[in-house]
Structures are given as structure tokens and as C-alpha cells.
Amino acid sequence: MEYIIFGVIAYLLGSIPSGLIVGKIGYGKDIREHGSGNLGGTNTFRVLGIKAGMLVTSADILKGTLATLLPLLFGADVIILIIGLFAVVGHMYPVFARFKGGKAVATSGGVVLAVNPILFIIAIGTFFLMLYLSKYVSLASMITGIVTVIVTLLQQEYGLTIVVSVMTLFVIYRHSTNIKRIINKTEPKITWM
């Protein structure tokens, strides 16, 4: 029963469309109608700028962290990583935004932050290194997921390995169109790094 309760709460937290809220309230724009049409932080950066992008990315990370840690606050007897996955699903398929959400990167990072802050720091470092080398946000996101899986294996945290592997598969699946554009050399590159 606790899994159902906290799973639903986590899903609803993950479903909060940060990009949509920031865009409409702060800028009078529906970011789904601009750029890639995605609700995540990357499209927010492109459409609304650095301040909005940072705010949305931070909010999306915190959704994952809060959803994962919430059961601990109530002393629930659940595996919090599983609860965190519900937040990631909510972010990808938000009930509050017609089930069209983000690509699972920031919220997955929030789940990792909740259970292993050192791994989160490694992931952030990997992301920016790969972003610097490739100039592709999408590629940096996918490689970061793969690296976090490898690190959890080296740390022998096999439960975390399973969950991080699932989240990485989510990230890769949600970037399937980006993969095609990278292969076709039509994926947009960042210009600020």
C-alpha cells in the first residue's frame, strides 16, 4: 500500500511542468510552441534564456530529490529508488501537461542526488565535460547516464545500478530523435561553451 501511495505522490510531483509554469507565468510563453517543443530545461534555455533555464532545471532536479526522499520523512517501509522512478515517469509523461513532458535527465539527476550525492557530482562533471567536447546537450546527457551506470558498478551498488540503468534507458529512448539528428549532423550544437 505504501508503494502505491508514495508512487502516486512521486508521479504527481514529477508531473509538475516546471517549464510550462515558468514560461507562462514569467514570460507569457508556452515553450511547447517554441524551439523543440519540449518541456525540459534545455528547451527552456533555448527559448527563454539562462535565468529561466536554470530555474526550470533546478526545479526538475528537486522534483526527483523530493519524491525520492519523501517516504523517509514519513518512515515508510519502501525502497526509495523505486519511488524516485515514479517521479521520472511523471516528468516524462505528466498528467498536468497532456502526458507530454521532458526527457528525464534533470529529474533522474534529482533521484541520484537523493541517494548518492557523490555520484550526482560525478554526473554533473561528466555532463559538462562531454558538453564541452561534443557541443551536443543530448549526447552529453546520454553519455552521462552510461557513465553513472559504470560508476555504480565500480562502487558495487547494484541496486542503484539497476535503477540508474532504467533511468539511462529512459533518457536514451527519449532522445531517439536526437540520435537520428546527430547521425544526420542536423542536431543543434550549443554556442556558449
**What is the pLDDT, as a whole number, of residue 103?**
93
Question: Are 105 and 171 in contact, with CB atoms under 8 Å apart?
Answer: yes
Is 166 domain-assigned? yes
Is residue 7 packed enough to be buried (19+ CB in 10 Å), middle (13-18) or exposed (0-12)?
Answer: buried
Is residue 98 packed enough to be buried (19+ CB in 10 Å), middle (13-18) or exposed (0-12)?
Answer: exposed
**What is the pLDDT, as a whole number, of residue 37?**
81
Place of cell 547516464: 145
* pTM for the whole structure: 0.93
Question: Are 141 and 175 in contact, with CB atoms under 8 Å apart?
Answer: yes
d(CA 11, CA 1): 15
What would the mean pLDDT of 82-101 be, rounded to a whole number? 95
Number of Cβ within a 10 Å radius of residue 192: 7
Is 126 domain-assigned? yes
**What is the pLDDT, as a whole number, of residue 190?**
86
Give residue 96's pLDDT band: very low, low, confident or very high (50, 70, 90): very high
Looking at residue 23, the DSSP 8-state letter turns out to be: I
Nearest one of 82, 100, 79 to 91, comparing CA atoms: 100
Q: pLDDT tens, 42-63?
A: 889 888 988 999 999 999 999 9
Whether residue 171 is predicted with pLDDT greater than 90 in this model: the reply is yes
Is 151 domain-assigned? yes
**What is the pLDDT, as a whole number, of residue 158?**
92
Domains held by the chain: number: 1
Is 66 domain-assigned? yes
**What is the pLDDT, as a whole number, of residue 25?**
93
Q: pLDDT tens, 114-137?
A: 999 999 999 999 999 999 999 999
As given in the structure block, the three cell numbers for residue 128 are 559538462
Domain span holding position 178: 2-184
Is 78 domain-assigned? yes
Is 192 domain-assigned? no
d(CA 163, CA 84): 9
**What is the pLDDT, as a whole number, of residue 172?**
97
Is 191 domain-assigned? no
Is 48 domain-assigned? yes
